[in-house]
Amino acid sequence: MGLVTLPKFNIRKVKSDFKDGFKKLSSDGFKNIFNGIDQLGIKQGVDRLGIDKFITQCALLAAGSGAVTGLGGITTLLIGVPVDFVNLVTQQFRVTMAIAYHQTGDYSINFEDLFKMVASSLKVDTGMSISKNVMEQVAEKLLLSVGTKTAERLVPLVGAAIGGTVNYLFIKRVATSLLPPTGNNKPKVAVRG
């Protein structure tokens, strides 16, 4: 039985490419993802399913891309990580918007207010306004949350379970950080009126 060899790739180049990609994400990518989300659709989803089931739906959608990324080992990991990351950010935005709607009754939110809530859920201090630096910090935190289990996704099939679980739990933690504790009616999210 022969020794299995993995394809060779330059880890420094991959790391550099990721950093460049995340800088691009922090400059325009977040706003592009935000602009692609149907806020009325989120309102209708929360009205139809309730907030808990809507959050679970978003977590399952995030889990799906995480699982696909880890399904085939290194091949699907290299191709799937950017798609998985965009989907994870999209689901995080959707959950944040859903919770804001659930707590305020207003489903229309602007990008700056949304991003402040997202930054807050990741424990990034935004101060008074959203700057490029804050967006880069959010991108880095997201990368760390996804990247900590990337090596485990290299093992085919096992990587799918790990990737799906990590993404699912990440979205659930985001929701928990934004929802008020049970019995407390005071919202954790603040949306400008």
Percent of the chain with pLDDT over 70: 66
Please give the single-letter amino acid code of residue 96.
T
Global pTM reads 0.76
Phi, psi of 153 (to 5 degrees): -75, -5
Contact 91, 84 (CB under 8 A): no
Q: Which pLDDT score, from 0 to 100, does residue 193 have?
A: 45
Residues 6 or more apart whose Cβ sits within 8 Å of residue 80: 65, 68, 69, 70
Cα(181)–Cα(132) distance, integer angstroms: 32
pLDDT tens by residue, 88-130: 899 999 999 999 999 999 999 999 888 888 888 877 776 656 6
18 class by beta-carbon count within 10 Å (0-12 exposed, 13-18 middle, 19+ buried): middle
For the chain, the C-alpha Rg in angstroms (whole number) is 18
Q: Output the average pLDDT for the chain.
A: 78
State how far the alpha carbon of 189 is from the alpha carbons of 72, 121, 135, 152, 192, in Å.
39, 10, 19, 34, 10
Could you give the 3-state DSSP secondary structure of residue 78? Answer: helix
Q: How many CB atoms lie within 10 A of CB 17?
A: 12
Cα(163)–Cα(153) distance, integer angstroms: 6
Contact 62, 171 (CB under 8 A): yes
pLDDT tens by residue, 32-76: 999 999 999 999 999 999 999 999 999 999 999 888 887 877 767
